[in-house]
Structure 1
Amino acid sequence: MPSDRADLVAAAHESIRLGSKSFASASRLFDRETRERVWLLYAWCRACDDIADEQDHGHAAPAEPGTRLDPESRLATIRTLSELAMAGEETGSFAFDALGQLMRETPVTRAMVDDVIAGFALDAAEWRPRSEADLLRYCYHVAGAVGVMMAAVMGVPAGDEDTLDRACDLGLAFQLANIVRDVCEDDAAGRCYLPVEWLVEADIPPGEVTKPHYRHALVPQVARACALARGYEASARVGAARLAFRQRWAVLSAANIYGGIAREVERLGAGAWDHRVVIGKARKLALVGKALLEARAAPPVAAKPALSRRELVAMAQASSRT
C-alpha cells in the first residue's frame, strides 16, 4: 500500500475521482496544497463510508456468501484503523494512512475525528431521529463534523470557533440536501432520516413514507428540511468569506451545487423522487461561475441557525452520558 505522501495523494485523487464527481470538480478550484489535503480527507471519509455500508466508492460491492460483517464489526474496523492512523502507525490502508498524514500537516484533532466516527456508530445502531433536533444532531455527526475537519484542512485554527461553526453549517446543509434527495433510496434500504414527529404530524405511518398516496403529505415535510438547509447554507456563506480567495470560491461552488439539489427537490414537489435529482455539467459550470462572482463580492449577512455546532455537540455529549 502507498505510504509516502506523493503516493497517498495520488491514491486519494483516484478515490475522489471515482467516488464524487461534484467534490472532484470543486476541489480543482483550490490551491495545490489545499486540494491535495482535501483529497486526503475525502479518501478517509470515503473509506469509512464504504466499510460501514460494505460498498466500493458508494456502490454495492460483491461478497462471498457468509463473509459479510455485522454493523458493529464494521464500526470496530473503522475505529481500529483510525486509531492506528492517529497514533502515527501505518494501517495497511492508504485511506487511513491519509488521515495520519493530514493530522501531521493540519490542525485536525482527535475530537474532530471522533465526532465523525460517532455518525457511523449511529447508523450501526440503526438510530433514527424522532425530533428536528435529533435530525440536526445526526447531520452534525455525518456531515457537519466533516465540514469542521475541512475547515481545519484549509488552515482555520482550532480556536476560531465561529468560523468552525460556519463550516459545520455547510456540512449540515449538504446532508439535509442528501436526505431530501434520497428519501426513496433510504426507504428501500430500510432507513428514514426525516423525524418521526414530522411524519406523525403528516399522518404518514412508519414504513409508508414513499407510498404514492402519501407523496403529497410528504412534500411539506421535505420542504421543512429544505428550509433548514437554506438557513445553514446562508450561515456558512458568512464563514466562507473569511477564507482565502480560491478556498472561498471552491466552498461557494460546492454550496451552490448542493444547495441546487435541495432547491430542485423542493421545486419538483411530489415529482422529486420520480428520478434521482442531479445537477448536470452545464448547470454545475454556471453555478461555479456564479460562485466566482460571489467570492469577489462583499461578505454576506446571515442570522445563525437555531442550533449551532456547539449546541449540537453538547446534545451529543449529553446523549452519550445517558
Structure 2
Amino acid sequence: MDRGAEPVAPRRELDAAGIGDPRLRRSYRHCRQLHARHGRTYFLATRLLPAPRRPAVHALYGFARWIDDLVDAPDPRTRAEQPRTALRTAQQRLHAALRGDGAEDRHPVLAAVVDAVRRYSIEPALFDDFFRSMRMDLRPRTYRTRAELDDYVHGSAGVIGLQVLPVLGTRCPVERAAPYAAELGRAFQLTNFLRDVGEDLRRGRVYLPAEELAAFDVDRERLEGCLRTGRPDPAVRRALSDQVARARAVYRAAEPGIRLVDAGARPCVRTAHQLYGEILDRIVESGYAVFDQRVAVGPARRAGAAARAAGSVLATRWGTG
C-alpha cells in the first residue's frame, strides 16, 4: 500500500516509530483501529504518549481484544469447545511467531504484537498468564473469595500493565515500578467488573467475590433478580458501594507509580488513571444502575481531561512545566 494513502495520524505514528515494512504497517493499523473502536478512554490516553511509543500500545491492545473476542463467542452452542480450541491455536501461533517461525505473516494482529514484544523486550511469559485467565472465562463461574478473583485478575489485567510498562519507560529500575503497573491494570479491571455487572451476568459470569457480597445478603440469585428488573435493590446497592470503595483503594495504591514512569509517558498514565477512576463516580451517581446500561464518562469530560493533559505534554516538551 502506498504510504500516501494511509490516514495521517497512523502514518505519522508509524513513521515516528521507524516502522517501514508494509506488512507490519498494515498490522499496526489494524490494531490501532481495534483500539479506537473498543477502548475509547484508553485510546484517548494513548494519544498523549510520544508518537514513537503509540503503535506498540495499540498492538498490545489489539492482541488482547482479539483474544477476548475468541472467548466471547456469539453462538452459545460453540462456547464449550470452539473458543477453547481457538485459544489454544492462538497461543501456539503466538509462540511460533516469537520463535521466528513466520506464524504471524498472515494474521492481522500477530505481526504487530510480535514486533512490539521484540522492540521493547516484553516478557513472553506474561502472555501465557493472560491465556490462562482467558481460559477461566470459558466456563460460567462465581469467584468465592477475593484471592480467587485476584488470581484471575492478575492474568486478565495485571499482566497488561506489565506488558505496557517497557513501552512507557521508567525513571527507576523496572522492578520497582512493576507492582504499581500491575496494580493499575487491576484497578481498570475492577472498574470494568462494576460497570459491566449486567452484561457479565447475561454471559453467566459474576466477577464480584461471593463472600464479600454475602456480607450484604447478596448472592448470585439476587443479582439475577436485579437483572430481570433492571434495577438494584437496596442490599445490592450497599454491596456495590462496598465494591466501589475497594476499587478506589486499588487506584490509590497504584497512584504513586505514575511518577516512576518516564516523563513523556506520565500524562498518558495520569489521564487513564483519572478517567477510569471517574467511571466509579458515574456508577455511584447513577444509583448503581449497572444492570440495564453501561455507565461511562461523557465525551466532553474525556476531551477536557485530554486537553489539559496535552497542555502538560507541550509544557514539558518546551521546557515550561
Q: Aligning the two structures, in what range does the TM-score lie when normalised by the shorter sequence?
A: 0.7 to 0.9
Q: Does 1:90 align with 2:109?
A: no
Match of residue 16, structure 1, among 25, 35, 41: 35
1:201 and 2:215 aligned: yes
Aligned to 1:268: 286
Give the AA of the match of 1:277: V
Aligned residue type for 1:239: G
Q: Which residue identity does 1:90 align to in structure 2?
A: A
Provide the aligned length of Structure 1 versus Structure 2: 289
Task: Write out aligned runs for 1:1-322 (5 A).
Answer: 4-54=23-73, 60=74, 69-88=81-100, 89-91=102-104, 92-156=106-170, 160-212=174-226, 215-289=233-307, 291=309
How far the C-alpha of 1:281 sits from its partner, in A, is: 1.0
Q: CA deviation at 1:291?
A: 4.8
Q: Which amino acid aligns with 1:276?
A: R
The verdict on how the C-alpha distance between 1:114 and 1:17 changes in structure 2, with shifts beyond 3 A counting, is: same
Provide, for residues 147-197 of structure 1, a one-character-per-residue CA deviation record: whole Å limited to 9, x for no partner.
Answer: 110112223499622211101111111011101111111111111111111
Task: State the distance in 1 between where 2:30 and 2:174 align.
Answer: 31
Alpha-carbon separation, structure 1, partners of 2:191 and 2:183? 12
Structure 1 stretches lacking a partner, 5+ long = 55-59, 298-322
Shift of 1:8: 2.2
What amino acid is the match of 1:167?
Answer: A
- Given that 2:93 and 2:103 are in contact with CA atoms closer than 8 Å, whether structure 1 keeps it comes out as no
Cα distance in 2 for residues equivalent to 1:210 and 1:293:
45
Once the two structures are TM-superposed, the CA of residue 217 in structure 1 deviates from its matched residue by 1.1
Distance verdict in 2 for CA 1:240–1:286, change over 3 Å: same
Partner residue of 1:308?
none
TM-score (norm 2): 0.80
What code does the residue aligned with 1:174 have?
Answer: F
Q: Which shows bigger deviation, 158-167 or 251-260?
A: 158-167
Computed over aligned residues only, the root mean square deviation of the Cα atoms, in angstroms, reads 2.9
Unaligned runs of 5+ in 2: 1-20, 317-321
Determine the C-alpha separation between the residues in 1 that align with 2:312 and 2:282: 21
Q: Deviations over 1:109-165 (max 9, x none)?
A: 122111211210211244431111222222221111101101122234996222111
Instruction: Report if aligned partners of 2:70, 2:86 keep a CA contact under 8 Å in 1.
Output: yes
Output the TM-score relative to the length of structure 1.
0.80
